[in-house]
């Protein structure tokens, strides 16, 4: 099918005077893993809940494989599985019963995969939900989502509360899902996770999409991280064009440079730099750079 | 320098106490004032409806020894005085409401706060846990005093306007009874909060105890020679206090013993239990009911069946109990003006049927609570986010709500059948030969008000999910209050019309009001349709 897995078109959600999401245009082609990033309160959860038809768009539309998520949720959700981190499941049901229920609600389940997942995630399905630890409740939902082999996995901070071993299991299955052609929309604050899993990232801030590129592109276009050591106190480089995110730590200066690096090199040479390294920024630095600058506007 | 503060303006050491006082005082003042208004309204209506001594004596002759009304509403000595009548009309209502308030306040202060996780920071170590529990309970105690004081003050301030009003000591006694009722059940709530795993469970256990207490004193007062049973019921102790008629201070003893014992047990429980858990262990492993959980319908059944079953058992037992005492009660009605008095209460027939007609109000309230409870359960599912998981997969939210409403319909239909059977069986066993058709008709007559309230609750749920549950329960309470206070004609007809129970016939004493029932059913169905439509178009919202 040609329709993208997810398409948001001028998607807007207001709560009274709060604009939780402001004209979001987003497209996730099928078969990709998109990292969906943004500071707290940026509108990530709002976006995902709109995609799932749990809340109603104030304006705009959200489509899943070409089906409107609000008007026709049942058809849209036939190909979706959803996981969040605030997991409150039916306390009186056992983990196994929750899996049965969600499996039936979804329609189709790969029973062999389910049993494999229960073993890999090391979950005891005979225990009632109220007796599970936070991480174990999270595992129930992850298994429920993965066992359906849904074409689109919508994951909102899916690994919060999981230990590193389980985290690794999760990553393995997400990669496997991508290799099978499933699409993943992953909202997360775990940048290492996003870096390890995602093909592309989208960054939202204050309800607006500020960036949507592949990780490689983002790196190329983005600032270079520079670290320079001086014999004495570092000079004031705030006026140098392209320089931002300046941090001074004793005689060491760290900063990022956009565009041409020449003005900075000249300034550093003048100040008598003794040591200098530069490298592509980590996702964390990219992310922080996007959060810091209030002047970034939507494309 | 003052002690560290945490944004509340209170020293951190007494933080729990301060928070608890704040909650309890506000709601205590409100509820207390409402209790005062009920009392005053009853006294005023008496003076309006029974202005002459002759009328009052007739009333006293008809009801003073009627075991049925006494069983349902409490003893009725001195019906020829304002105090006596008010005592008969509102004492039990007041003690039940005050008991519910105490229960709610205690479970809210102890478990409500704990469930939000707010206490986790304060609860390091068992010593702290006991202190925190004690502080929360102290806050509730202050609230109880405010509740009783507000009731007494409102009553005292407004009652002066009436000629033969209540004496100051009687008003004080009334406050004392409210105090005793709220304290008794707050102590119970403190204990169930330690025993049960959640606030919901703790309150449910408390309400069950309250229902048992009511049933015990009903039997004690039913003229079966079992009056000693009154001492086995906390509500019986409050009844024995009888502040308005014949105060008996002996009844303070069981109240005090009970309170001290339960609070001590609660504090001991707080020391030894885990935070977020209850002392009563429950089985955390379950079989897999795989065949059952195939969708929202199966889930609804799995989640609701045991609750609905409990409602059915409770209503069947209640109806059976009323049926058992009805014939005996009817034989104690004496005097020539009985018919007139029953007329005023809405019943036009005599004998067992008349008594059953009077009792139908209580049953109708219980059935309405069952109906509203189904919407409350649906809202709870949504608020906790459980519904998200279904809607995010292929379950349509409308289908989910229709399953829930279907469960409510089944619950109500079951009530109709069971109540009819129970009444028929119980009255037949006592030799009252009433036609089963008549009794099933009367049982069915309980449903239209419940259906109307279900419709209203569903509309509210579709439009204002967060307000729907308290407002709907409020409507049930309001409807009951209106008929209790205004049932004898001392209230404006327009106000009377706002009560669904006012439109219900006192079947089987009189024939069901076909038109009114049809209107209530139509209202219910329209409300459900409108509510479902609104629900389909709104956001799912959390707590
Ligand atoms: N039901 C609601 N009522 C009012 N405001 C809301 C509601 N839900 C979300 N908001 C607001 O919308 C904005 C976006 O919230 P959202 O939950 O989408 O953020 P988020 O990006 O998921 O943040 P986080 O990283 O903390 O999970 C926030 O300002 C939030 O306060
Ligand atoms: Mg979020």
Q: Does domain A6-215 have CATH number 3.40.50.300?
A: yes
CA nearest to B485, candidates B157, B55, B49: B49
Residue B346 lies in a domain: yes
Distance of CA A113 to the CA centre of its chain: 25
Identify whether the C-beta of residue B471 lies closer than 8 Å to the C-beta of residue B540: no
Rounded-to-integer distance, Cα B257 and Cα B263, Å: 10
Residue B103 lies in a domain: yes
B107-110 own/partner pairs: CB under 8 Å, 24+ apart: B107/B189, B107/B192, B107/B193, B107/B199, B107/B202, B107/B203, B107/B206, B108/B23, B108/B199, B109/B20, B109/B23, B109/B24, B109/B136, B109/B137, B109/B139, B109/B140, B110/B136, B110/B137, B110/B189, B110/B190, B110/B193, B110/B194, B110/B202, B110/B266
Q: Would you call B392 and A128 a contact, using CB atoms and an 8 Å cutoff?
A: no
Rounded-to-integer distance, Cα B508 and Cα B481, Å: 22
CA nearest to B463, candidates B378, B388, B538, B401: B538
Residue B155 lies in a domain: yes
My answer on whether B261 and B389 are in the same domain is no
Rounded-to-integer distance, Cα B403 and Cα A187, Å: 33
Of B244, B278, B312, which marks where a domain is finished? B278
| pTM reported for the whole predicted model | 0.77
Q: Which residues of B touch A97 (CB under 8 A)?
A: 286, 288-290, 293
pLDDT tens track, chain B, 543 positions: 344 444 444 455 677 788 889 889 999 999 999 999 888 887 877 777 778 888 888 777 777 776 666 777 777 788 888 888 888 878 888 999 999 999 999 998 888 777 666 565 555 555 577 888 899 999 999 999 999 999 999 988 877 655 456 788 888 888 999 999 999 999 999 999 998 877 878 888 898 889 888 888 877 887 666 788 889 899 999 999 888 888 888 999 999 999 999 999 999 988 887 766 677 756 666 655 555 667 778 888 888 887 888 889 888 988 988 888 777 766 655 443 444 555 555 444 467 887 788 788 888 988 999 999 999 999 989 998 889 988 888 889 999 999 999 999 999 999 999 999 999 999 999 888 889 999 999 999 999 999 999 999 999 999 999 999 989 998 998 898 787 666 554 567 788 888 999 999 988 888 899 999 999 999 999 999 999 999 999 999 987
Nearest by CB to A74, which of B288, B295, B396? B396
Q: Which residue lies with its CA nearest to atom 10 of ligand 1?
A: A20
Domain residue spans of chain A = 6-215, 223-279
Q: Would you call A74 and B394 a contact, using CB atoms and an 8 Å cutoff?
A: yes
Residue B1 lies in a domain: no
Class of domain A223-279: alpha beta
Residues with CB under 6 A from ligand 1: A 15, 18, 20, 38, 40-46
- Domains of chain B: total: 2
Identify whether the C-beta of residue B454 lies closer than 8 Å to the C-beta of residue B528: yes
Identify the three-state secondary structure at position A31.
coil
Which structural domain range is residue B90 located in?
8-278
My answer on whether B52 and B138 are in the same domain is yes
Q: Which residues of B touch A106 (CB under 8 A)?
A: 393-394
Residue B284 lies in a domain: no
Most B CBs within 10 A among A82, A100, A137, hence the mutation to make, goes to A100
Rounded-to-integer distance, Cα B306 and Cα B383, Å: 21
My answer on whether B451 and B512 are in the same domain is yes
My answer on whether B312 and B453 are in the same domain is yes
Pairs across A and B, CB distance < 8 A: 102
Nearest by CB to B389, which of A96, A102, A130? A102
My answer on whether B344 and B473 are in the same domain is yes
My answer on whether B429 and B307 are in the same domain is yes
Q: What is the ipTM of this complex?
A: 0.76
Q: How far B397 CA lies from chain A's nearest CA (Å)?
A: 9
Q: How far is the CA of A40 from the centre of ligand 2 (A)?
A: 7
Q: Which residues of B touch A101 (CB under 8 A)?
A: 293, 295, 298-299
Identify the three-state secondary structure at position A69.
coil
Residue B230 lies in a domain: yes
Nearest by CB to B284, which of A55, A101, A128? A128
């Amino acid at each position: 099918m040609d329709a993208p897995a997810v398409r948001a078109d001028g998607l807007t959600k207001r709560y009274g005077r709060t604009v939780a999401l402001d004209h979001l245009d987003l497209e996730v082609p099928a078969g990709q893993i998109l990292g969906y990033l943004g500071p707290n309160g940026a509108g990530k959860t709002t976006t995902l809940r709109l995609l799932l038809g749990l809340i109603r768009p104030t304006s705009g539309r959200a489509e899943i494989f070409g089906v409107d998520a609000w008007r026709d949720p049942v058809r849209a959700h036939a190909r979706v599985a959803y996981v969040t981190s605030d997991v409150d499941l039916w306390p009186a049901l056992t983990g196994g019963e929750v899996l049965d229920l969600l499996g039936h609600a979804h329609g189709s389940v790969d029973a062999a995969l389910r049993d494999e997942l229960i073993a890999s995630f090391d979950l005891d399905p005979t225990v009632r939900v109220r007796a599970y630890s936070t991480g174990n409740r999270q595992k129930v939902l992850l298994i429920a989502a993965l066992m359906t082999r849904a074409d689109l996995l919508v994951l909102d901070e899916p690994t919060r509360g999981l230990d590193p071993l389980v985290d690794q299991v999760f990553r393995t299955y997400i990669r496997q899902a991508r290799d099978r052609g499933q699409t993943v929309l992953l909202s997360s604050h775990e940048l290492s996770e996003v870096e390890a899993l995602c093909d592309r990232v989208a960054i939202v801030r204050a309800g607006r999409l500020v960036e949507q590129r592949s990780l490689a592109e983002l790196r190329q276009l983005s600032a270079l991280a520079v670290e320079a050591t001086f014999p004495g106190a570092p000079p004031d480089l705030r006026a140098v064009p392209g320089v931002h995110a300046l941090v001074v730590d004793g005689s060491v200066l760290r900063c990022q440079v956009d565009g041409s690096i020449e003005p900075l090199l000249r300034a550093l040479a003048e100040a008598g730099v003794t040591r200098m390294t530069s490298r592509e920024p980590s996702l964390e630095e990219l992310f922080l750079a996007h959060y810091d600058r209030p002047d970034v506007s939507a494309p | 320098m003052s002690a560290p503060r945490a944004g509340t303006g209170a020293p951190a050491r007494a933080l729990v106490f301060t928070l608890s006082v704040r909650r309890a005082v506000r709601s205590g003042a409100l509820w207390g004032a409402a209790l005062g208004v009920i009392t005053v309204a009853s006294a005023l209506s008496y003076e309006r409806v029974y202005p002459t001594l002759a009328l009052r004596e007739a009333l006293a002759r008809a009801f003073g020894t009627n075991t049925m009304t006494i069983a349902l509403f409490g003893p009725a000595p001195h019906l020829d005085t304002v105090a006596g009548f008010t005592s008969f009309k509102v004492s039990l209502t007041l003690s039940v409401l005050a008991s519910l308030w105490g229960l709610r306040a205690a479970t809210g202060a102890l478990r409500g706060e704990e469930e939000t996780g707010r206490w986790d920071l304060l609860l390091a170590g068992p010593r702290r846990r006991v202190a925190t529990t004690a502080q929360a309970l102290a806050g509730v105690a202050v609230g109880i005093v405010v509740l009783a004081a507000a009731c007494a003050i409102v009553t005292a301030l407004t009652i002066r306007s009436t000629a033969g009003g209540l004496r100051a000591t009687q008003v004080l006694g009334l406050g004392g009874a409210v105090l005793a009722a709220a304290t008794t059940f707050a102590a119970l709530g403190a204990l169930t909060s330690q025993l049960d795993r959640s606030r919901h469970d703790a309150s449910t256990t408390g309400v069950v105890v309250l229902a048992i207490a009511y049933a015990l004193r009903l039997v004690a007062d039913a003229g079966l020679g079992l009056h000693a049973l009154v001492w086995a019921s906390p509500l019986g102790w409050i009844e024995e206090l009888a502040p308005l008629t014949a105060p008996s201070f002996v009844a303070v003893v069981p109240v005090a013993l009970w309170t001290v014992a339960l609070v001590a047990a609660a504090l001991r429980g707080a020391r030894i239990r885990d935070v977020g858990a209850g002392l009563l262990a429950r089985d955390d492993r379950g079989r897999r009911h795989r065949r059952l959980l195939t969708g929202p319908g199966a889930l609804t059944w799995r989640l609701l069946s045991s609750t609905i079953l409990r409602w059915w058992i409770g209503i069947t037992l209640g109806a059976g109990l009323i049926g058992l005492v009805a014939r005996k009660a009817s034989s104690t009605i004496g005097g020539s003006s009985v018919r007139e008095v029953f007329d005023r209460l809405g019943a036009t027939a005599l004998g067992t049927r008349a008594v059953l007609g009077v009792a139908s109000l209580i049953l109708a309230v219980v059935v309405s609570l069952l109906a509203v409870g189904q919407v409350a359960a649906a809202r709870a599912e949504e608020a906790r986010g459980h519904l998200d998981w279904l809607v995010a997969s292929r379950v349509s939210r409308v289908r989910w709500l229709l399953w829930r409403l279907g469960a409510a319909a089944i619950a109500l239909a079951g009530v109709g059948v069971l109540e009819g059977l129970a009444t028929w069986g119980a009255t037949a066993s006592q030799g009252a030969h009433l036609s089963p058709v008549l009794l099933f008709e009367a049982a069915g007559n309980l449903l239209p008000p419940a259906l109307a309230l279900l419709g209203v609750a569903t509309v509210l749920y579709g439009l204002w999910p967060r307000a729907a549950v308290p407002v709907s329960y409020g409507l049930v309470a309001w409807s009951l209050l209106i008929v209790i206070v205004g049932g004898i004609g001392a209230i404006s007809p327009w106000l009377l019309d706002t009560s669904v129970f006012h439109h219900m016939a006192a079947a089987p004493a009189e024939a069901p009001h076909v038109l009114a029932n049809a209107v209530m059913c139509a209202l219910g169905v329209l409300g459900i349709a409108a509510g479902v439509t609104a629900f389909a178009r709104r956001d799912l919202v959390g707590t």
